[in-house]
Amino acid sequence: MKARRQMKVQEIITKEIIHTQEDLAEKLHLAGFNVTQATVSRDIKEMGLIKVPSAGDDYCYAVPTEVHPTNLQDRLKRVLRETMVSINDTESLVVIRTIPGNAHALAAVLDNSNWEEIIGTVAGDDTILLVIKPKEAVSTVLERITTLLG
């Protein structure tokens, strides 16, 4: 539920100008999420959202362009544990199945992880395709993911 909510938070702040936590909570309520201001505050902190200048003298929430490596590693571990259902591989491809509606969130974290072996991801609703180069590095990627799942 948290991963889906945080994915919705990211979607909201990239599509709309959100000035306050109350504005965000209201948008989440409209999207069917029953949240409190405290929940929104925790999500903002966990996601590392920042406030950036908007029109006039106002500020709005945004996804940072750079993510602190420690926070990113923790987030990747958490999202993997909360959403991944299965993983499989063939040649230079890895397919990850997630809980429905969570593939984009996990793919975004994987894209930002800067693993040099992953040259790209494609995400659907519950499936992520990782393209690995060279194909011999597939085992390295699988080992990293297994370690994160710990």
Which domains does the chain carry? 2-62 (1.10.10.10), 69-149 (3.30.1360.40)
Query: What's the average model confidence in pLDDT over 40-66?
Result: 82
Six-digit token string for 96: 């990850």
Q: In terms of pLDDT, which residue wins out, 12 or 2?
A: 12
The length of the chain, given as a count of residues:
150
Largest CA distance in the chain: 53
Which run of H or of E encompasses 4?
helix 2-15
Secondary structure of residue 48 in the 3-state scheme: coil
101 dihedral zone (left: phi>0; alpha: psi -120 to 50; beta): left
Ranking 22-36, 67-81, 99-113 by mean pLDDT, the lowest is: 67-81
pLDDT digits (tens, 9 = 90+) for 74-87: 888 988 999 999 99
> In angstroms, how far is CA 116 from the centroid of its own chain?
18
> In angstroms, how far is CA 49 from the centroid of its own chain?
12
